[in-house]
Amino acid sequence: MTGSADRLTLLDVEDVTKEFDGVRGAAQTTVLRGVSLRVAPGEMVAIVGPSGSGKSTLLYCLAGLEPVSTGRVKLFGRDIATLGRNALAKLRRDQIGFVFQAYNLIPSLSAEENAGLPGRLARRKGAASAARSALEAVGLSSRGRFLPGKLSGGQQQRVAIARVLASGAMLVFADEPTGALDTRTGEQVLSLLRDAATGERSVVIVTHDLEAASRADRVLVLRDGVIHAELHAPTSENVLEAVRAAGEEVPAA
Ligand SMILES: Nc1ncnc2c1ncn2[C@@H]1O[C@H](COP(=O)(O)OP(=O)(O)OP(=O)(O)O)[C@@H](O)[C@H]1O
Ligand SMILES: [Mg+2]
């Protein structure tokens, strides 16, 4: 980060569109049709919307995992289109964390080794002790030597969060992080993500769980590849209303 203006927005997205090429002569699919948003340090932003509205695609574009078709994504004040492959990979490794629905841990590495992996890849001093502290922070210090296969789904997801915390990433993306978990375990994982959005670190989460979304500072409702609504003081009621207005069928609780 350079100037103070850059410190105000970790993520600055302007008019992003995304098209996928059609397979075998089929027409192109336009998934994002002009999305602009900003994320400030310490903020937790939730993205909700009907299935197929482009939430995952948007998240991958924001994280620099998927190139945009037009528009601009600035991470930490830097337009990622101007970064070379290596610079972008380094930025992702050092500053960005990702939590997936399917945990994405390395099966042959212990919980502690998984948590410490980004730091080890970056040859960071103290990677192992950062991993231990992060495992303690997610309540798993007694499971450090376990392989992922010996952990429950919720425990594996907590290791994935420990990996993000240990890496020191300032921007954390999570795509349906509670999607495979029961309600109670999902709440634990969500609380950890909520707590992770503090100081300079921000969290952007995609979720179908409207209760979860309402715990964010801000909720963006995506519909057909555009931001259809933005809620600044989300409650589960107004998120439900906004999602219904975006055309998602949500059964009554
Ligand atoms: N690699 C790809 N190639 C072509 N089309 C794609 C690709 N990835 C996604 N799409 C299309 O983009 C649209 C949006 O997909 P996306 O996964 O972003 O939706 P989503 O909002 O995350 O949905 P869900 O809630 O079901 O996860 C879908 O119509 C999908 O078929
Ligand atoms: Mg998705």
Ligand nearest to the CA of 208: 1
Q: Where are the beta strands (DSSP E) in the chain?
A: 11-20, 29-39, 44-48, 70-75, 78-79, 96-100, 171-175, 202-206, 218-223, 226-231
Please tell me the predicted confidence (pLDDT) of residue 7.
53
Angle, helix 127-137 to helix 111-121, in steps of 10 degrees = 140
So where are the chain's domains? 4-245
Asked if residue 9 has its Cβ within 6 Å of ligand 1, the reply is no
Q: Give CATH for domain 4-245.
A: 3.40.50.300
Q: Are the C-beta atoms of 210 and 45 separated by less than 8 Å?
A: no
Instruction: Quote the pTM value.
Output: 0.93
What phi, psi does 167 have (nearest 5°)?
Answer: -75, -15
Q: Which ligand is nearest to the CA of 53?
A: 1
pLDDT score of 83 more than 60: yes
- Ligand 1 proximity of 207 Cβ (cutoff 6 Å): no
Structure tokens given for 217: 């500072």
C-alpha of residue 20 to centroid of ligand 1, in Å: 9
Mutation test of ligand 1: which of 29, 173, 209, 248 has the most ligand atoms closer than 8 Å to its C-beta? Answer: 29
Kindly indicate the confidence band of residue 175, based on its pLDDT and cuts at 50, 70 and 90.
Answer: very high
Which atom of ligand 1 lies closest to the CA of 23? 4
Query: How do residues 34-43 score in pLDDT, each as one tens digit?
Result: 999 999 999 9
Burial of 3 (0-12, 13-18, 19+ CB in 10 A): exposed
What is the β-pairing status of strands 226-231 and 78-79? unpaired
Instruction: Please tell me the distance from the alpha carbon of residue 201 to that of residue 12, in angstroms, as a whole number.
Output: 15
